[in-house]
Amino acid sequence: MISEKELKNIISQVLKEMDGEVKNIDRVKEKVVGSMEGLEDVEDITKVDLREIIELKNPINREELLKYKRKTPARVGISRAGTRYTTETMLRFRADHASAQDAVFTDVSNEVLEKNNLFTVQTKCNSKDEYITRPDLGRRLSDESVKILKEKCKKNPVVEVYISDGLSSTAVEANVAEILPSLLNGLKSYGIDTGTPFFLKYGRVGASDDVAETLGATVTCVLIGERPGLATAESMSAYITYKGYVGIPEAKRTVVSNIHERGTPAAEAGAHIAHIIKKILDAKASGQDLKL
């Protein structure tokens, strides 16, 4: 639920952008709050699993259609009213599109980072807009971040694991609490030395190479939010690189993707990634050079 302070800030910003004077803000707030009353009782249609819903009114073989739908989160067998989508189909499409946009443009909450004992550093990007339009800046750490990492992190770890928002802050918030401890505990069970976890804001996958050079890590593993689609905005991936360096070919990375509630669950993915990192260290190779 949005706080009163946040609501006032939003209203103030809107009025400023409209070139209006910010007067009687409490009165405006009362009207806005009044229009929002009861919204907490509205069902979140994005929580409904489309794989379990038959939208067609009279399918010839309902059970066979449901069997196919359960194999994919894609929009199979959607319903129409004439040449148009039905209201429910269109609302779900709009809602999923909005969730995808939110995943890209919102920030990971400080509360989530604090709960998982992650301090924050940043790439050379200064905003979401710059992050999206300048991928090159998202692949390099800011000078201040390099300094912070050298001060706070373990030097020359065998494996450095860190979290990055990437293109989905939603993915980080949905998965980090389960995947990070699962991964670190898995590596510990193999007797593998790990570095100090942290959160990298506005990070691209390639930033892991700058991290590797900065900390002297043998293996870097970034758990990053993936580009959201209309199926889910919570998908995370792990990109693992053996002896990364700035400019290393992308083919040298090993990837574990589709980490989310309806894909590979976070806790299970963490254990799997630890196993793969063990193989990478044994083979002294990652990406296309690694034979799994």
24-50: pLDDT as tens digits:
556 655 655 555 565 556 677 777 777
Domain carrying residue 170? 110-289
Q: Return d(Cα 244, Cα 61) in angstroms, integer.
A: 53
CB 253 within 8 A of CB 163: no
**Pair 117, 170 in one domain:** yes
Domain containing residue 52: CATH number: 1.10.30.40
Whether residue 60 is found in the same domain as residue 149: no
Last residue of a domain, one of 105, 124, 141: 105
Query: Which of 113, 144, 111, 138 is closest to 125 using CA atoms?
Result: 138
| 3-state secondary structure (DSSP) of residue 84 | strand
pLDDT tens digit string along 234-246?
899 999 999 999 9
Q: What angle do CA 277, 282, 288 make, to 5 degrees?
A: 70
Question: Same domain for 125 and 145?
Answer: yes
Sign for the pseudo-dihedral over CA of 213, 236, 183, 252: negative
The verdict on pTM exceeding 0.95 is no
Claim to verify: residue 66 and residue 204 sit in the same structural domain: no
Does residue 144 sit in the same domain as residue 251?
Answer: yes
pLDDT tens column, 75-128: 888 888 888 888 888 888 888 888 888 778 888 999 999 999 999 999 999 999
Compute the Cα dihedral for 55, 56, 58, 63 and give only its sign.
negative
**Pair (114, 181) in one structural domain:** yes
Q: Are residue 57 and residue 76 in the same domain, yes or no?
A: yes
Q: Which has the closest alpha carbon to 275: 207, 187, 204, 199?
A: 187
Let me know whether 37 and 62 are in one domain. Answer: no
State the pairing for strand pair 219-225/159-164. parallel
Q: What angle do CA 223, 229, 232 make, to 5 degrees?
A: 70
Total domains in the fold of the chain: 3
